[in-house]
Structure 1
């Protein structure tokens, strides 16, 4: 088994940490060869709050995945979320030296690099620069400018920004767990890759990923990401409310939520009662399911209204921004009974539950197609996609180098010196590599 064909997604969540190892089968579907899961103790609302515990949980998840697959994990693609994430829109342009040559990858890379130089607030760093539409000279609304002639290349960008310290803490945990960080991806983008179809992205869709500590939102329209947001509430606040409202301990509250919880209070009759054992010889507590669903309903309604506000801010009510495919719910919180009906009721949009099984091989374990694993599957897909791109670039460069041994071309001047170093990882300076490299240098120096 070739190790380089395998990728690993590491989802560092507030409730669980998942390591997922997989590869593409001959049909292009993803075959998960190993999965490991650990309780996440050191993460709060998507942000690392206890480094030592997070490192232990990562190691535990990784060891479990290695045990199942008997593959040694070396590098991982990690997801990032948390309340510090924000997104903004920005447009930028470059003037090309030679309008007689067609626009190529290098031009787009130069344009993206220019956006990376944007001055952020202190302590913030750009995580993703995602091009939306391009404009060549005065022709607007171009999806793919490569191969066109033009002197001025302009684009609108969706820029995702996060706190440097939070990103570095995640990097630190991954490195201290003995792993290399091959990439960091925004979690709502990973979940979207796993559960949304291309048709939905074209028609316009809002993906809501309800996790333990955060609710992530990604909005697509015309196949392009238009808006991302991270809301600092998730399934845990529902559990906390049940704990407070019913005066029980957290473990019992979580069980109640998962087993008997419903987001719609109308369906329970007053007579349905659950008895909960009291602590250490105290009387058992009796809780009516109607009360339980009232507590859950109030909190879930608040989360959905927050998300709906973001959807409105994006411009859902304008004719141009209409989301025809409605809402897709995923993440562990999407498993709450009657959540879909409540979301449809509050937003007036169609909703479905998103399962990450579309890209998985047919014989995959049923557990994997649970919405709770959407982010991990998406991160794994990101890792596999990245490898494929690296291979393509590698092949293209080899061709260039063999074809033109003596001409001094731009491409050769750019690429050949890099060749001597580390051919595999230094190839494609993508949006993220500069950032990841900076992070690695920082971590190496911090040792």
Structure 2
């Protein structure tokens, strides 16, 4: 695989998407290839059949490789599922020398300290996201690097998931012949793809309606404030249509996509759709009003659960108000009149988010569908990770060169420079080590 390419692997309940992208000269993300396969071994964001998941990953990857005419080695994988939970945590470090300025090492030390938090049995920290810092009691500092201070304190948003689920994903990726380069929480990936910086500053709730889960990420002042995963998605709506209309799942899904609406008032009573019967049976006639009522009931339930989470964050407080409202994305966001229903239930401004915020202008329309928001976000995450590694390598080379010069001058033994790693890289390493040892 070329050095400057990144691959996002979105393991969804209904589909698995592999997307290959790179940055163009204008700093925009250019999508080179996309592969999509039916997801068979994943239920509500959790792997429940390793073999089928591996096959689905391989199919998607092969399709993406063919489209981009390149070979894929490593991937950035999205993680979601009802086992994901988030918590707020504050921590601090006391610096040995208050006369020197705070640097990245201090922040890394603080973040690593948070990673030592004792979790419930079987849980592991996925992300530690700093919110605001305090230096010697001075609050509301967004970037403490370069400041003087003895005590560095911060509030963190900590995302936690089940070890077994993370390892199962790692296992599937490795068995599919790929390297796990990083793990990212899916709502964060989607948020990076569809939200603008202004929205994140003003306060916004991103709702990613997938097949198995509905993910929520809330931003305010440019900082992640709250994340949640609700174990309902588009599949539950399809299931309801299947039960309510006594038809097979395939027909229910098609009905939902073609004629589905979240607002029953939009359909007239005499609008009827005819569905062919099975094996020579009589065709079924379904009124679109009934179809909309079935969809409406379930969508209201999902939206209300999301709204409870938004209230839990504290949206009703003046200081925490989400001025930019709600952004809907994911496959479920394509449901007709969903935007109006969400506005009606929550009373918040709503728009449908397309992942074209950071994509190159000539991108295919299909890629800019809300369906691929997570995959685009994962590609962006992979590219960011590469840039970080590249920057660290340059710094290491500079240090090594300086060390070499000192060695030549003083004929000392060359010290070993340890590369700096973010905790997410360390987590990925741990998953890799576990998989290597398991074999």
The TM-score with structure 1 as length reference comes to 0.95
Q: Match of 1:441? A: 433
3-state SS in 2 of match to 1:132: strand
Number of matched residues?
433
Offset, 1:405: 4.7
Looking at structure 2, the residues matched to 277 and 252 of structure 1 have their Cα atoms a distance apart, in angstroms, of 9
Looking at structure 2, the residues matched to 416 and 241 of structure 1 have their Cα atoms a distance apart, in angstroms, of 65
Where does 1:283-362 land on structure 2 (aligned, <5 Å)? 283-362=282-361
Looking at structure 2, the residues matched to 63 and 141 of structure 1 have their Cα atoms a distance apart, in angstroms, of 48
Looking at structure 2, the residues matched to 90 and 405 of structure 1 have their Cα atoms a distance apart, in angstroms, of 42
Looking at structure 2, the residues matched to 399 and 136 of structure 1 have their Cα atoms a distance apart, in angstroms, of 30
Q: Structure 1 residues 118, 407: CA separation in 2 closer, same or farther (over 3 Å shift)? A: farther
Offset, 1:70: 1.3
Looking at structure 1, the residues matched to 313 and 428 of structure 2 have their Cα atoms a distance apart, in angstroms, of 29
Offset, 1:406: 7.0
CA-to-aligned-CA distance 1:75-105 (integer Å, 9 cap, x gap) = 0000000000000000000011111110000
Looking at structure 2, the residues matched to 416 and 352 of structure 1 have their Cα atoms a distance apart, in angstroms, of 55
Looking at structure 1, the residues matched to 33 and 346 of structure 2 have their Cα atoms a distance apart, in angstroms, of 38
Looking at structure 2, the residues matched to 431 and 318 of structure 1 have their Cα atoms a distance apart, in angstroms, of 33
Q: Match of 1:121? A: 120
Looking at structure 2, the residues matched to 416 and 290 of structure 1 have their Cα atoms a distance apart, in angstroms, of 74
- The partner residue of 2:421 within 424, 429, 432 is 429
Looking at structure 2, the residues matched to 404 and 97 of structure 1 have their Cα atoms a distance apart, in angstroms, of 25
Q: Match of 2:380? A: 381
Following superposition, which runs of at least 4 residues in structure 1 exceed 3 angstroms of deviation? 403-408
3-state SS in 2 of match to 1:432: helix
3-state SS in 2 of match to 1:363: coil
3-state SS in 1 of match to 2:3: helix
2:61 is the alignment partner of 1:56 = no
Gaps of 5+ in 1: 409-414, 420-426
Q: Structure 1 residues 326, 29: CA separation in 2 closer, same or farther (over 3 Å shift)? A: same
Looking at structure 1, the residues matched to 400 and 104 of structure 2 have their Cα atoms a distance apart, in angstroms, of 17
Offset, 1:407: 6.9
3-state SS in 2 of match to 1:20: strand
Where does 1:207-246 land on structure 2 (aligned, <5 Å)? 207-246=206-245
Offset, 1:348: 0.2
Offset, 1:400: 2.5
3-state SS in 2 of match to 1:369: coil
3-state SS in 1 of match to 2:320: coil
Where does 1:130-169 land on structure 2 (aligned, <5 Å)? 130-169=129-168
Looking at structure 1, the residues matched to 351 and 126 of structure 2 have their Cα atoms a distance apart, in angstroms, of 29
3-state SS in 1 of match to 2:307: helix
3-state SS in 1 of match to 2:139: strand
3-state SS in 2 of match to 1:31: strand
Gaps of 5+ in 2: 408-413
Q: Structure 1 residues 144, 259: CA separation in 2 closer, same or farther (over 3 Å shift)? A: same
Offset, 1:397: 2.0
Looking at structure 1, the residues matched to 339 and 73 of structure 2 have their Cα atoms a distance apart, in angstroms, of 39
Q: Match of 1:411? A: none
Looking at structure 1, the residues matched to 184 and 325 of structure 2 have their Cα atoms a distance apart, in angstroms, of 24
Looking at structure 2, the residues matched to 442 and 312 of structure 1 have their Cα atoms a distance apart, in angstroms, of 39
Looking at structure 1, the residues matched to 127 and 278 of structure 2 have their Cα atoms a distance apart, in angstroms, of 49
3-state SS in 1 of match to 2:140: strand
Looking at structure 2, the residues matched to 388 and 255 of structure 1 have their Cα atoms a distance apart, in angstroms, of 42
Q: Match of 2:184? A: 185
Cα RMSD of the aligned pairs, angstroms, is 1.3
3-state SS in 2 of match to 1:208: strand
Q: Match of 1:393? A: 392
Offset, 1:433: 1.5
Offset, 1:403: 3.3
Offset, 1:30: 0.8
Q: Match of 1:424? A: none
Looking at structure 2, the residues matched to 118 and 42 of structure 1 have their Cα atoms a distance apart, in angstroms, of 32
CA-to-aligned-CA distance 1:21-52 (integer Å, 9 cap, x gap) = 01001001111111100000110001111110
Looking at structure 2, the residues matched to 372 and 69 of structure 1 have their Cα atoms a distance apart, in angstroms, of 20
CA-to-aligned-CA distance 1:338-364 (integer Å, 9 cap, x gap) = 000000000000000000011111111
Looking at structure 2, the residues matched to 237 and 127 of structure 1 have their Cα atoms a distance apart, in angstroms, of 27
